[in-house]
A = this chain, B = another copy of it.
Amino acid sequence: MNHFGKLFSVSIFGESHGESVGVVIDGCPAGMPLAVEDFVKDTERRKGGTQKGVTPRQEEDLPLFKSGVFNGKTTGAPLTLLFENKNTRSGDYEKQRAVPRPGHADFVANKKFAGFEDYRGGGHFSGRLTLCLVAIGVVAKKIARDLTIHADIISIAGERDLEKGLQKGIDAKDSVGGIVECTVSGLPLGLGEPFFDSVESLLSHAVFAIPAVRGIEFGTGFEAANMFGSAHNDAIVNKEGGTASNHAGGIVGGITNGNELKFRIAIKPTSSTPQEQQTLNWETNQVESFAVRGRHDLCIALRVPPVLEAVTAMVLVDLLLREQKIKRIF
């Protein structure tokens, strides 16, 4: 199901080379100003800017408001945002069909949907759907106006110097991955529930909806496994729950503790690499070499920050509504 959220509830849809991608957002507070211009910044950020390592496919990625906005404000009814697909070249895909690209969903989609999947450009599995996530984020960040949500790439190809990381990929004529970190300040203490609706549970659920994510860690994360307890524990130092350190990343027992929320995700290298790859040809039933041609990102991690902010905001708005920290009227 492409559906998420209890009180701030979203459904995404669409295909890369179909007519459109889009989202229905249910539970948006009424009375919030919303204009197409609000979407410019994050949809532009999602394109990865003019950096090297980003595909030149540059559609005008702005939403059509299909429902839920009236006189420039949200109505409280479901908000539907549609993005039309204009700049597509599907011809290429037809002839490649028998050659499932390694790292892509071509093979599993074909099996799961018995050959009825829209295979053009990854179809419904395409990264283009992250545009819907970004759009959700624009809305959610406006709703959660007291929060500061910020995601940033902190390494590429293992390098803290991002230019150097990208150059590694360029030199090797190969794609590269990266690490993205997200921090949120302004969160109230007490969001989340013990066990199945812990903040980590909900955030990780949403984060793994982003294609190419391979891991998530909160606070000190995997490094915590190597620390002593006395070093890892964050000493509480004031009545608001402020802590001397923040190894917990702002979550204890699944609940926000009033400190900065901090977590990181690992993005794999783009599956479409300029390098020659091996895969099975369904028709010949032979493993053969092939090379991906066309427009592709050297490093998709570059596009991830606004997407990560988006799903984070989406989860937090739902939790803020549950805890009555956000009103139903904006």
Known: A67-B22, A197-B1, A209-B195. A233 touches B277 (CB 8 A): yes
Partner of A6, one of B6, B282, B287: B6
Set of chain B residues within 8 Å of A278, measured between Cβ atoms = 235, 237, 244
Would A225 and B158 count as touching, CB distance under 8 A?
yes
A194 to B16, CA, bound (A): 13
Near B by CB (< 8 A), chain A positions 42-84 give: 64-68, 70, 73-80, 82
Set of chain B residues within 8 Å of A116, measured between Cβ atoms = 30-31, 70, 73-76, 329
Would B222 and A329 count as touching, CB distance under 8 A?
no
Closest chain B residue, CB of each to CB of A68: B13
Would A229 and B176 count as touching, CB distance under 8 A?
yes
Would B200 and A66 count as touching, CB distance under 8 A?
no
Number of interface residues of A (CB under 8 A): 148
The reply to whether the CB of A186 lies closer than 8 angstroms to some CB of chain B is: no
Least Cβ–Cβ distance between A134 and chain B, in angstroms: 13
Q: A208-B254, A227-B268 are in contact. List 19 more A-B contacts (CB 8 A).
A: A11-B11, A15-B67, A68-B124, A70-B117, A75-B117, A103-B232, A108-B189, A108-B241, A109-B253, A124-B194, A158-B226, A174-B230, A175-B230, A176-B227, A176-B228, A200-B208, A215-B216, A233-B271, A324-B327
Which residues does A use to contact B, with CB under 8 Å?
1-4, 6-7, 9, 11-15, 18-22, 24, 26-27, 30-31, 64-68, 70, 73-80, 82, 100, 102-105, 107-109, 111-118, 123-125, 129, 155, 157-158, 169, 172, 174-179, 189-190, 193-198, 200-202, 204-209, 211, 213-239, 241, 243-244, 248-249, 252-257, 266-273, 275-280, 282, 285, 287, 301, 322-324, 327-329
